[in-house]
Amino acid sequence: MNLNEFTIENAHEGLKKKEFSSEDLTKSCLEHIEKVDKNINAFITILKKEALDSAREIDKKKDFKNYLAGIPLAIKDNMSILGVRTTAGSRILENFYATYDATAVKKLKEAGAIFLGKANMDEFACGSSNETSYYGPVKNPHDLERVPGGSSGGSTAAVAANECIAALGSDTGGSIRQPASLCGIVGLKPTYGRVSRYGLLAMASSLDQIGPLTKTVKDSAILFQTIAGQDLMDSTTTPSNSPFVRGRKSDFPLLIKEGVGEVDGFLSEIEKDIRGLKIGVPKEYFSAEMEGLDKEVRKRIEEAIKKLEKLGAEIDDTISLPHSPYALAVYYVLMPSELSSNLERFDGVKYGYSNRSGKTLLDNYMDTRGEGFGAEIRRRIMLGTYALSAGYYDAYYKKALKVRTLVLQDFLKAFERVDCIVSPTSPTVAFKLGEKINDPLSMYLGDVYTVSANIAGIPAISIPCGMAKPKDGKTPLPVGLQIMGKHFDEATILRVARNFES
């Protein structure tokens, strides 16, 4: 096994036992990037010198108590790293260098993590295929003619192709879970407010959440615990009443170890069996109203549910989420509205790409934004601006907010009966590059199972649950099982995922 193929867990053990150095581990990843990334295009910026320098510094300290000390990671290119180019996959930020660290990045630095580079992504996280990036599409490591999913396609493909040990992505409507499903890895979207968004280039502020992309569930738990917690720089973060919130006193009897702390207590919790846990299967998720569920994908999900039952969980297939069929419509009103507001700042005056050849200030605005933003961004800005405009605000945006509340209430009611809810992550396996790029509605339907978790603000994870043949090919491709949980109860969904994985 090459070092770049290691998980966080076994790389950490190897570093502690001095079987190899952080520099060896980092070099292995960088060499693999050089070998394969010309075909996959997972990275926009590679930090070769910085990564090796950081690895050597970690090796000098010889302190590998922390799980992430000396571990090479990829960071989605919408998170700020001080002094590093941060483009959000867009031309408009082609030459923008971040002036501070995102809180999640800062916590990883404090833990001793190594940053290999900034991962490719759909422009400003708008897309489900990673084809809207100004820096070219990312390709699925399982089949280079297919998409990896989006918008965190670069981070996901980098993990799946063993170009890094793990990565960070962001999830607004499924942008961690959907690519994790299509590439056959683990993707966790934490509860809204669980991880600080400070330093994350905003897409839709009430939906965005940073989360881990990893090779195993345990790795996901390790990364999650490192970046989670309240942040005074982000007023939407919360300490919550959960015992597993980094940075606050807990009444849970954690297994404290020097240099590791709460993470060990959390890992012990997710190792428990799932006998007696109640798992809900919403009837709406397998109905005709949820469009496009592939037969082979459905079969893998049904097999996974049976496996969970064999592991001792109680399956309840009578729960209902009656407003789920409307979640996608709600998402595609709220998200473009918030996006159009958040992207107003990119006017070519303060920073970023600028075209100042026009005769008037308005000409300069129009030229800068028309050339700096891609077609999908312009489409969503127009949708959002329309929904927020006078005369349409009540009809679209306000009504969407009301239905959002109904979607949330459905989940709260269901969680009175069950501990978590399972569903497909994506209705299909990875589709071919170019297949849906000119059909936005078909592309948007790929988020049908994931957007509800963002709308309700609940945690959700996607884990591999088998392979299925695509309708247009013979080679089987990964299928993802989605597990959704109660607010701030990442421990339960990770526990169910860990049991299934084991």
* Residues annotated catalytic, as ranges: 76, 151, 175
Burial class (CB in 10 A: 0-12, 13-18, 19+), 495: buried
53, 22, 4, 51: which is closest to 158 by C-alpha?
4
106, 64, 8: which is closest to 257 by C-alpha?
64
221, 164, 162, 238: which is closest to 187 by C-alpha?
221
- Phi, psi torsion values for 420, nearest 5 degrees: -155, 170
Output the CA–CA distances (angstroms, integers) from residue 65 to 17, 69, 267, 284, in the order listed.
11, 7, 15, 46
Q: Which residues of 182-218 are buried (b: 16+ CB within 10 A; e: fewer)?
A: bbbbbbbbbbbbbbbbbbbbbbbebbbbbbbbbbbbb
DSSP calls for 398-418: IHHHHHHHHHHHHHHHHTTT-
Strand partners, 171: 209
Distance CA 491, CA 235 (A): 23
List CB contacts of 111: < 8 A, sequence separation 6 or more: 66, 67, 68, 69, 226
